[in-house]
Structures are given as structure tokens and as C-alpha cells.
Amino acid sequence: MDRVSSFDEPLKKLLGGATAKVMAEHLDLHTVGDLLHHYPRRYEERGKLTALADLPLDEHVTVVAQVADARILMFNNGRGKRLEVTLTDGSGRLQLVFFGHGVHKPHKELLPGRQAMFAGKVSVFNRKMQLAHPTYQLLDASDADEATEAVDAFAGRLLPIYPACKQLDSWRIAKAVDAVLPSAQDAVDPLPASLREGRGFTPLPEALLKVHRPQSKADIEDARARLKWDEAFVLQVALARRRYADTQLPAAARRPVADGLLDAFDAKLPFTLTEGQEKVSKEIFDDLATEHPMHRLLQGEVGSGKTMVALRAMLTVVDAGGQAAMLAPTEVLAQQHHRSITEMMGELAEGGMLGGSDRGTKVVLLTGSMGMAARRQALLDLVTGEAGIVIGTHALIEDKVQFHDLGLVVVDEQHRFGVEQRDALRSKGKQPPHLLVMTATPIPRTVAMTVFGDLETSVLDQLPAGRSPIASHVVPAKDKPHFLSRAWERVREEVENGHQAYVVCPRIGDDAEEAEGKGGKKAKAKKAAPEEDGDKRPPLAVLEIADELRKGALAGLSVEVLHGRMHPDDKDDVMRRFAAGDVDVLVATTVIEVGVNVPNATAMVIMDADRFGVSQLHQLRGRVGRGSAPGLCLLVSEAHEASPARARLSAVAATLDGFELSRIDLEQRREGDVLGQAQSGVRSSLRMLTVIDDEEVIAAAREEAVAVVAADPELEHLPELRTVLAALLDKDREEYLDKG
């Protein structure tokens, strides 16, 4: 164990209390190991020593020279000052220039006759070579050896620039790293020897030395390749072990029954399933037929028919004598799913009722705002097994809810739920139920392998026949107000042609403005994108916009509102009337983002579109074009044409490919947001690896990890890997992995 101990050594033992305190509080670095894994962000090239006579233009150079003279010059009517220093080295002369507050220190130190090293980029000003704001180090002329050593150490080196903080700058972190670098020899190497040698990786102690103190760019490449692999591999082993442990749990196999509920349902379908739906259904049925719980992520484009695939899985479980529960993030969505599933099933959803099919089952809804009588009946139907399918919100998780035999849990929009909520529902089975997690937010493959790495993945990437194309356009409301007037005319035209429209706003606009329910995304939508923080206008609100439209651009049309703080009965009433075609225009918050299905709605206007994320805009847009008529999505924004916000909107308007958009979204937000707070353990363990750029590394590491765990699930023959895993999986990170 001694080999690990130097990595576990607290920093204050080596660096002193003050520095260690700043590192702990501001950089989350506590041990020698933490600091050795605090990698340079980039490297500054000092350049080799160059004679003043041979200075190349536009290159970084390091020179050793003597100060010939230094003078302060005023400009801008005395409001500005600059320090000009002339250097000489016997071969030529060079001018240095420092501006503003940067003149004080060099003015005191760079006195005529002093010798120093200077590093910077060579430019020309007034036909003279100069370095602007160079870094420099004074040389002690009295000690020639020390001066030579300083020159060698300073010049020709790749200088690491570390992620720093106000209290501790990069060069002080570099000094601290020097103090702990000898401990790199004690690094515990997590890679099995055969893998390391097979892939030709640098040994870990050497990789740590090379990343902190590279002699060449090749050293940096070597070190990065090795350190990225360590991160990817250790994480993938953790996930592979989780998957392996899941396969060891017992579950009741739920196999399709001939002439049962599923066959009756398939026989009455008015369309044929897409090839993708058939393929994914087979993957799910194969999983359900095993005596270990399924853990599958089903991701599919908006409108690709995920609900249909999930429903067929639920019917199979009911056929096999079990019950299925579908967990939805909002009441609107739970009601919508309940309505569309009972409509699709018809008399098959009326088991035990007059006129119901003798092969049918009961499909019940359970939400927090239901009346006592309806709630009591639903709970009774679940505990007796009368109801084969239940669709509900967080209310399903309460202690009172008991099942006769829970066989399958379907979680819709996984990212809206926390670990505890999903596990609480799973614990209601007599033994672990099968689990199907659905998301309509397309996830790039690497994120799926990292964030959802403990789930097997199925992808639905075909749209069912009959889905229409959606045209998307950015409407620059500030630059071209007449474009916005035209947008409202287009909405009116759609309504006159017998269709309906959505108008989406980031805020509700009543006095109790706040985040919209636990599952909603209001808090996110309310905050302007960072680049618009200077824009103090509050985001546009549903109630105000609806009012303006009724009085102005859409006067005479039936305009209704929908938002998360309405009474559930009112919400359901509005949705029913909109679905029935009695409401022309629905002005709503993002409550309509997922699952709302009104094929006759063809147009959507998104106000303050720059205040929504890329994936969210794509989700919202998926609400139109669901029938035979083409869809139209207008992204209204006051963001400046050259701003990142407008670039984001243009990207959304340019493609309907959700996977392409999720990649753009990821590139703009980087990993922090993607892995999110729930995955903070993973975020803090990914220092070198980027989920966006390192797809090949992650995919290869996953393959190797699966092979290692299959051969040795307890890692008995790989004690080093076990040690490193134990360090990764502290409590926070365990929780991250538990979310699968």
C-alpha cells in the first residue's frame, strides 16, 4: 500500500498551509495525486535564444540582452503612458514597450545596464522591431553559472500554463507541481500490462512527467494519449461492472404470448411499423425474455414512434402476467400519454369494463392533483392487478402506491428525473423490474457511452411514413420588425387553411413567476444565454403575448394559454380543446416541449428563441409537422446578427437532424453542462478526456473494459485497477453511476 500513500499525502505537508488552503478552496485540489492530475491547459513556447540581429518577425523568441535605456512617454493629452526600453546584445538593438498599469514594475527593474532574459512575439512598429509586454527574468551578473543555468531553464522550454485562480497564478502552481513531481514515480497504473503494451502506451509515471514538464511537443502528445486512455478506461470499467452486476440480478422473464393482448393490438393497428420500430422492438423483447432485468436506453428523434415501441413492450409484460408503469415528467405529458395510449388501444384498454375486450386490461392514470375518489380507485386497481398499465408523474413513487406484480418501468425523458425517484419506483417490484428509459433529445454516441454508459442503447432514427417536412426560419425582430408582422400573417394564413399554431414564450408572466415545477425547464429558459446578459429586458411572457395577440395581430382568432401553474383540470381542458381543433392558437411555455401530439398544428412561433438551448428548440419544433401538412417553425430573436446566439439559431434553422444539432449543442456548451450536476463525479474525473472530441478513445476503451470485466468481474487479478477504481468511486461518483 506504500505505493499509493504518497499520492494520498495532503498538500499542506509539502506546500505549506496557505498555498494548500487556496488550492483546496479554489481549485478543489487536496492531495499530491490531485495536483499531479491538475494538467496544464496549454503550453507557452518561449522560443530558443535568438541574437537581436536575427529576430524573425511574428515569432515567439527569447533573447538575453542588456538594457541600454528606458523612458516613459505620455500620449493622449497626458492620459496615457507607455514605457519604452531599448535593448542591446552586441549584435543589434531591440525595443520593448509596456502600456498602462503594466509600466510600473518594469520601470523600476529595467534600469540601464541590467541584464535580463525577455520572451515575447516580435512585431514591427515605425519600422523598428519590438516586443510588446514581454515576460522577463532578471539575471544576476555576479554569478555567471547561475545566469547560464537560468538562461537554459527559461529558453527553449515549453512552459505549462495551468488552470489557475485569482488567488494563485499559473507560475506558482507550476512551482508547487515541481515540489510534488517526484511522487509521479508512485503512480498506480490502472491499465492491465497486456493492454498497455498492446497499444504501445507510455508508462504512467513517465506520462505524468511529460505532461507537466515536456521537452518537446511529441512528449505532450504521448502524455495526452496515455492520460486520456486512463480516464476513459477507468470510467468504462466502472460502467461495465455496473452492467455486469445488473445482469446478475434476478428478474421474471416476460415473454410474448400467442393470441394475447399484443397480437390483438397489432392486428388493429391502422399502419405498419417502420423497420426501425421492428428492430428496436425485437431488441426489447429479447431483453424482456431473459431472467435478468433489462436496462435499455431508447433514444429517437422527435416523432419517431418511441411511445409505440414502449407500449408494445408494456403489452408484452401484461400478457406475461405482469404490470407496467410509465413515469412522465409533467402532468400535461402524463395526461397526454394516457389519452393517446387509451385511444390507440381502444376496447383493449377497457379490461373488466362493459364493452371492453376480454383480452383487455385497465389503463389508469395517477397524478398528484387527482380527486380522492379517482385516486383511491387507481390505487386499488394497481394493488389487485386489475390495471395492467399505469401512467403517472412523481405521484407513482409515493409509499402508498403498491403493485400486484410490477414487471416493467418505462421512464420518459430520463434527464428530468433524479436517481432516487427512479430507484424508488423500481423498488416497488417483487424483484427488480425491467427498465426502459426513453429520450427524444438525441444524444451523441460518446455522451450515450459516458452519461448513459450503464444502459444498452437502441436508436430510432427513421420517421414514420406520413410525417411532413418542417421549414425553419430565423425572424430578426429588432433589425427587421416587418418580418415579425409577416410571421403573424403566416400564422393567420395557417389558421385560415384549417390548421392550428403554437406560440412559445420563455416566461409565464404572472406575479408568482418562478421555475415551473420540479420537472420543468423554466429556470433554464428564464436565464438569458450568457452572451445576452447585457440585455436587461425580461424574457417575453405567455400572458402578455397572448393578450397582445388577441387585441392585435391575431384578433378574431381563438387564442388560449397553457402553462405549468394552471390547475390540472384547466390544463387538460385546454389541451383537449386544442386537440379537437376548437382553439386556433395556443400560447404556451415549454410544457408543450415533449409528447404533445396534435397533427393538425402546423405552425410554431418561438419568441425570444435565443433564450432556449439548441436541443430544446429542436424538441419544441417537433410539435409541428406531425400530420400530412408541412410544418413551419419561426425563431423570433432580438439577438445581434453576429452574436453566438444568432449562430445557434441559424444552426437550428439549417437542419432537422437532431443528432447533428446535439453535437453543435455539445460543442457550444462543452462537457460541464452536458454531464450536469448529477454527474459531477464524472465531470471531476474527466480532466484530459473531452466527451466531444474523443469518440474513438471512448469507444475503444469501452470495448477493452467489457472484455476485462467479462474475464474478471471482481478484478481479482488487477489490483492496481481495483485501487484506482476505488479512488474514483467515492460517494459522489457512486451516485452518478447509480443513475442508470
Q: Which percentage of the chain shows pLDDT scores above 90?
A: 30
CB distance 363 to 370 below 8 Å: no
Which residue matches cell numbers 515541481? 178
Q: Which amino acid is at 61?
A: V
Render 288-344 in DSSP notation, one character per residue.
HTSSS--EEEEEE-TTS-HHHHHHHHHHHHHHTT-EEEEE-SSHHHHHHHHHHHHHH
Q: Given pLDDT bands bounded at 50, 70 and 90, which one contains residue 730?
A: low
* pLDDT of residue 328 exceeding 80: yes
Q: What pLDDT sits at residue 404? A: 93
Q: Going by C-beta distance under 8 Å and a sequence separation of 6 or more, which residues neighbour residue 641?
A: 476, 479
Q: What pLDDT sits at residue 381? A: 93
Nearest C-alpha neighbor of 333 from the set 4, 596, 617: 596
Q: Given pLDDT bands bounded at 50, 70 and 90, which one contains residue 530?
A: very low
Which is more confident, 532 or 694? 694
Burial (0-12, 13-18, 19+ Cβ within 10 Å), 520 = buried
Least confident residue range of 463-467, 502-506, 571-575, 626-630: 463-467
Mean pLDDT of the chain: 81
* pLDDT of residue 740 exceeding 50: no
Which is more confident, 423 or 307? 307
Over residues 174-182, mean pLDDT: 89
pLDDT in tens, 619-668: 888 888 888 888 999 999 988 877 888 888 998 898 887 777 777 776 66
CB distance 86 to 118 below 8 Å: no
CA dihedral 14, 18, 19, 21 (to 10 degrees): 100
Q: What pLDDT sits at residue 501? A: 95
Q: What pLDDT sits at residue 118? A: 83
Q: Which percentage of the chain shows pLDDT scores above 70?
A: 81
Which residue matches cell numbers 371492453? 356
Over residues 533-560, mean pLDDT: 84
Q: Given pLDDT bands bounded at 50, 70 and 90, which one contains residue 709?
A: very high
Which is more confident, 418 or 639? 639
pLDDT in tens, 267-307: 988 888 888 899 999 999 999 999 999 989 888 876 678 88
Q: What pLDDT sits at residue 593? A: 66
Which is more confident, 165 or 84? 84
Q: What pLDDT sits at residue 49? A: 60
Render 31-78 in DSSP notation, one character per residue.
BHHHHHTS--SEEEE---B--GGGPPTTSEEEEEEEEEEEEEEEETTT
pLDDT in tens, 101-114: 778 888 889 999 88
* pLDDT of residue 21 exceeding 60: yes
Least confident residue range of 156-160, 177-181, 580-584: 156-160
Q: Which amino acid is at 425?
A: L
* pLDDT of residue 457 exceeding 90: no
* pLDDT of residue 684 exceeding 70: no
- Measure Cα distances from 617 to 237, 614, 620 in Å: 35, 5, 5
Q: Given pLDDT bands bounded at 50, 70 and 90, which one contains residue 389?
A: very high
Q: What pLDDT sits at residue 641? A: 79
Q: What pLDDT sits at residue 736? A: 47
* pLDDT of residue 87 exceeding 80: yes
Over residues 671-688, mean pLDDT: 46
Over residues 458-483, mean pLDDT: 82
* pLDDT of residue 519 exceeding 60: no
Cα separation, 522 vs 533, whole angstroms? 17
Over residues 537-543, mean pLDDT: 86
Q: What pLDDT sits at residue 396? A: 84
Over residues 75-95, mean pLDDT: 86
Cα separation, 125 vs 123, whole angstroms? 7
Least confident residue range of 104-108, 319-323, 329-333, 377-381: 329-333
Q: What pLDDT sits at residue 164? A: 74
Q: What pLDDT sits at residue 438? A: 87
Q: What pLDDT sits at residue 419? A: 55
Q: What pLDDT sits at residue 464? A: 65
